[in-house]
Structure formats: C-alpha cells, structure tokens
Structure 1
C-alpha cells in the first residue's frame, strides 16, 4: 500500500479540506507537451530528421539562402531551391502523418487535405504574389498530370512487376475519378468561353504568338468579355470548393467504408478490409512545431525558386511551360512518388489510388480554386482559363485514367501506358 505522502503527479490531488484540486501547473504543461505513452521531443525530432537518408538533401536549404543573399547565378539559385524543396516536401508529409495518428479520422482527413499539397499551395501563392500567373497555372496543371500519369503509372508498373494483377475497390476509384472528370470539365468551359469571345471580339488587337506567351488572365479580350471570364472563373472556383468540402464529408463520414483499404480474399474472391496499426514516432506538439517550421522554410525556398525561373528560362532556352508542368511537380511530388510506388510493391493498390487520384482531386478542386480566390483578394486576375493545348492534354489524361481503373484491376502494361502518355506530354512542352 502506498503511503499518504505518495501521489500521482498528473492526477487530481486533495487539499487539506479533503477537496480535489488540479495538478500543479508545471505538470499540466508537461502533459501538454508530451502526453503519457507518446514519444519524447528528443525521440520525435530524432525520427523526424534522421529516419530517412533522403533528408541529406536538407543541406541545400542553407545553400539556397546563401545563393539568394549573394545573388549567385540564376541556375544556382534555381538548382539549390529546387533540391531544397524535395526533402521539405517529404518532411511536410511526415509531420502531417504523425499528427494524423492522434487526431481521429475526421480531423486527420482535414489535416491531410490542408497540408497534403502544401508545397503546391506555397509555390502557387509565391508565384501569384510575384504576378507569375503562367507559372501558377502550369505548375498546377503539372501537379495533376504528374500524379495521374507519372506517379500512378510508375506505381502500376512497379506493382505489376511483382504481382501479375493487383485489385482494388472499383467503386471508390470510380467515385474519385468521376470527381476528377468534373474538375476537368470545369476547366474546359472557361477555355471554350475564351475562344468564342476572342473570335467574336472585332476590336481585339492582341494576338497569342505562342503557348509560352499566351494570355492567361483574359487581357486579350475586350473589357466586357474579360470580366465575363473572371466571373466564370471565380464563380466556378467557389463552387469547386463547395464540391470539395462535400467530397470530404462523403469520404470521411457518410461513405467512409467505401474508401477503407481493402484486399481481395484469394479463397472467396471478396474484398476484405485491411487493418494496419501505424506506430507513432512523434508526439503531437512536436509534429505541429515541425510542420510550422517546415512550412515557413518551404515558403522562402519556393519564393527563391519562382524568382529565378524566368532568368533560367531565358539564359538556358528552356520553356517556362516545361519548367512549370514537368520540373516543379517533380519537386512537389517526390515524397508521394516514393510512397505510392512502395505501397504498390506491397500490393496495397487501394492506398496507391488514394494517394495519386486523391492528390489530383485536392489540387483541381481545392488548390487551384483557392489560388483563384487568393488572386481575387490580392487583385491578381488569375482565371481557370488554360490554353487549348493544355485543356486537351488534361482531358485525354483524365480519360485514360478513367478507362484504366474502371475494372478495379491493374498490371504493369497499364502502368506503361500512363508513363508513355506522360513522356509524350513532356516532349510536347519541351518543344513548345
């Protein structure tokens, strides 16, 4: 039996009158910063910084700051910032995942929705505030194409090399791809409106010389038509944000079982739920502080990256469209690419679909509309008008993905198809 002098620090104690009193303030502070059973701050940050060899690329962060401060050659500033953002994107994902483990399904879903594409949002806002509307649009388009074609294609191919066929729930996949199709259609409408108004406008004196110099804010239209394009874009952006919130409710609350990871039972052929407990390596406050620190650091590196793009494009004769559509998404999606392929190799194709298609949905129905609204607030006329070529590229990409996942099965040949289309698109933007 414990003596009367022994107390449990984090439980209520009794005062001299026999009434319960709260634990001392110092104990409450300790409990907040490290709940019972959670990893310590030291263990949390040891895991955060030293768990992956990929983090060795963090050395490029100070190099990026030094290059910008001393105004080194644009290629150095671009290259250092480019390499710095890759591990930062991975660390953002790590911090988000660790926080999600203790927040419950709904809050975890909202957290992943907010920070799942944090790099794209940061790069987009940095470009928007520098009035680089072309970079904003091409980087968003590139992120969608990268997830749908490159990352999903590599995952199908990697999984297909190990398993003759991988199965996933076609109902959930179809629901996600249908929403992706809706987002694609909403980008076709502004392009169609722009083309129609451009032909009808008899007073137009501006011509689009090339895709790289195409007007993306409607300034090649007359004043009335330009206002119409802005109204369509901003109205559509608000509606897409509403649809995305509804999709979160659909995915996390009303039809959560549809999006649960499943695997086909080899004996009965039925899809069964796969339950896996993920180990927690960081306590929640440590993960939150890490998330804040990495987000701020990423914002600086993204600002340096965007500021150097135009000089790099001019000096080395590289199309800005190629940089935005192909190079920038490689940075932002590096961590997702590795995770998706790794899940496919473990025959967890449902998670792979969720990562690739889910990320594309976040960008098209959340990130892009959000940037349009931010541009509206900051007086930057960002619209949902993409060039005809870009609209067609997006449409055929979504169409191919829709065809390939509708049967609920994948193999290496389907992966090759997706990667081939992505390479064809990359070549097209290189010569544009």
Structure 2
C-alpha cells in the first residue's frame, strides 16, 4: 500500500512540479509540491536500488542501498552550493548526521523495543561505523577550532587570508575522510566476517535488473529536477512560512532527502532485524560524514562556491552528542525502547533549539 502511494506521488508529483515551475505558480505551493515529490522519489529510488542489490549480492547491495539512500540530499546540497547557499549546506550535512543518529536510530529502537522487547545485535559490526563517526567528528571539530584560533570562522569571505588557510585545511581533511571511507568500504567487501553478508535469507527480486535500472535512472533524473525547483523556491517559501532557512536546512531538508532510509530502518527494527536496522541509520550517517561532505567540498571548489568544514558551535555540539550516544549504544550489543525514547527526546531538544535560532 505504502509503495503504491509512493509510486503515485513520484509520477504525479514530478508532472505537477514541472508544470508549476513552467507556469510560475506560487512559490510556497511549488515548494510544498516539490518537497512531497522528493519524498516519493526517494522511496522509489531506494526500492529500485534494493532490487538491483538483490542481483548484485548482499555486500555490494548494502553499499548501493546506503549510497543511493543519500542521493536525494546530495543532489539538494549540490543545487544549494550552485546557488551560493553554503551555510544551508552546512546545516543539511549536520541535520542528516544528527537525524540518522538520533531520530532514525531512536525511532527504530523505540518501535523495535515496544514490539520485541530487549533486542540484540552484532556490536562489532556497528562498532566500525561508530569509530568512523568519531573520526568524522574530529574532522569537524579541528577545522572549527582552527578557524576560531586564526579568526577565520563562519562568515569569513573567500578572499581573506584566513579563509585560504581554512580551505586548505578543509581540503586536507576531506581527502583523509574519503581515503578512510574507501578503505572501510574495501574492508567491508573483502572481510569474510562482513556483517551484512552473514545470515541473510535468500531474496527474490520483484523486478528484473533492466526494469530496476530504468526506474533508478528515471527517478534520479526526476529527483534532480524536483531538487532544483525546491532550491529555487526556497527563499520565497521560507519568507512566506516565517521559518528560518537554517531550520529548513537542518531539519526539513534532511528528513525529505532521507525518508526512504527512515522507513526502512524502522521497519527492520519492527521485524527484529536490528543488525540491518542499525547499519541503515548509523551507516547512512557514516556515509554522509565520510563521503558526501568531502565530495561536496570538492564540488564547491569546482563551481566557485568553496565549502569549508567550519560549522557553527551548536552544529558541532549536535553532531558530537549524536555520535557519542550512537557509539555508546552501538558498543552495547543490546537495546530497548527506553533508549529509543531517549534518543528521540535529544533530537527534539536540538530541533527546538534550531527552530528558535535565527
């Protein structure tokens, strides 16, 4: 039922969004329709990737699911960079990491715990992602601290000497994060003990690989169009709704871009498949931190809107808190619904703070 609704939203929303854009309709209406369309396309894209992953095998399929699951947000962030909205890109990166670690993980533990009681999972499997997230946090804290010490913090202009130093540090950190991500992925593929390769029941694809590939490419193209419309109508819509751009970037955009993963993670926890559920939430946050953020750094250089890894103090604190709690839970090996409620509560506390931050 949910899948059919998502497919209908994907097709109908794409057509309506394009029509509203061409006709120059009200920006707030167009923004809302584009956001709803992206929600449907994110699910459709994820399902097509899942079908391809079944044919490719569990390990490669797992990486494909994690990668394509973040495509929506990466595309939106790319258009934001093209439009020069660097601070919104910072917010969306932070929001995606925090959302996956607190909201998605928390909701998964809450729903899974209420349904199944105390749940167990492979602490070693999730521990590797947790360690990578700690590295990513260091990659955020060091540039922010360095920028503060030399006076090149948030808001420094690209022409300033301090900005050049911060950008040089950012590029170095981005390279190291990408190398780490590549090494981790290689280890995941080559290790005989790779967690997603074990005890996975045989699956039969609903679609043939040609159909899955066609749906994936069509969804990606439609997602690109809808993302461009979303970014184009962002400022007028924000002004009309009376919500700060920062809140849109750190809360709304990550939720829109990652809805498919949110649904999958919670569903897996409900079915007592906690290993896969944790890999969905924590793994997605890891990929945003180690892959998407560095890629956006280099994309910003290419399009002439440099993106540094200098985040605001509240953003750094939010990521650090999310990583700390997720690492604690990941290394425990057991979870319950109370822990899930605590994670969701922390996310809501941060969301309230972000809402009132202008």
1:185 positional shift: 1.1
Counterpart position of 1:54: 6
Find the partner of 1:372 among 268, 274, 297.
297
Between stretches 94-103 and 418-427, larger displacement belongs to: 94-103
1:214-260 CA-partner distances (Å, limit 9, x unpaired): 52xx328x722110100011111111111111010111212x52423
1:106 positional shift: 5.4
Q: What SS does the aligned partner of 2:239 have? A: helix
> In the alignment, does 2:180 pair up with 1:228?
no
Counterpart position of 2:217: 292
Question: Unaligned stretches of 5+ in structure 2?
Answer: none
Counterpart position of 1:409: 334
1:305 positional shift: 0.4
> In the alignment, does 2:323 pair up with 1:398?
yes
* Higher gyration radius (CA): 1
Distance in 1 separating the partners of 2:111 and 2:62: 27
Q: What SS does the aligned partner of 2:25 have? A: coil
> In the alignment, does 2:19 pair up with 1:94?
no
Find the partner of 1:159 among 103, 109, 112.
112
1:190 positional shift: 0.9
> In the alignment, does 2:193 pair up with 1:257?
yes
For the structure 1 residues 163 and 98, does the alpha-carbon distance in structure 2 shift closer, same or farther, using more than 3 Å as the test? same
Between stretches 186-195 and 109-118, larger displacement belongs to: 109-118
Distance in 2 separating the partners of 1:258 and 1:189: 31
Q: What SS does the aligned partner of 2:324 have? A: helix
Between stretches 377-386 and 109-118, larger displacement belongs to: 109-118
Q: Which protein has the bigger helix share?
A: 2
1:19-168 correspondence to structure 2 within 5 Å: 51-58=3-10, 59-105=12-58, 107-168=60-121
1:275 positional shift: 2.9
1:26-60 CA-partner distances (Å, limit 9, x unpaired): xxxxxxxxxxxxxxxxxxxxxxx995333232322
> In the alignment, does 2:149 pair up with 1:196?
yes
Distance in 2 separating the partners of 1:105 and 1:336: 17
> In the alignment, does 2:235 pair up with 1:310?
yes
Question: Please, what is the CA RMSD of the aligned residues?
Answer: 1.9
1:99 positional shift: 1.0
Distance in 1 separating the partners of 2:325 and 2:26: 41
1:203-242 correspondence to structure 2 within 5 Å: 215=155, 218-219=156-157, 223-242=160-179
Find the partner of 1:245 among 182, 185, 189.
182
In 2, are the aligned partners of 1:319 and 1:429 still within 8 Å (CA)? Answer: no
Q: What SS does the aligned partner of 2:193 have? A: helix
Distance in 2 separating the partners of 1:197 and 1:126: 30
1:109 positional shift: 4.7
Between stretches 276-285 and 182-191, larger displacement belongs to: 276-285
1:104 positional shift: 3.5
Moved over 6 A (4+): none
In 1, are the aligned partners of 2:261 and 2:280 still within 8 Å (CA)? Answer: yes
Distance in 2 separating the partners of 1:50 and 1:165: 28
Counterpart position of 1:430: 355
1:111 positional shift: 3.2
> What is the TM-score normalised by the length of structure 2?
0.94
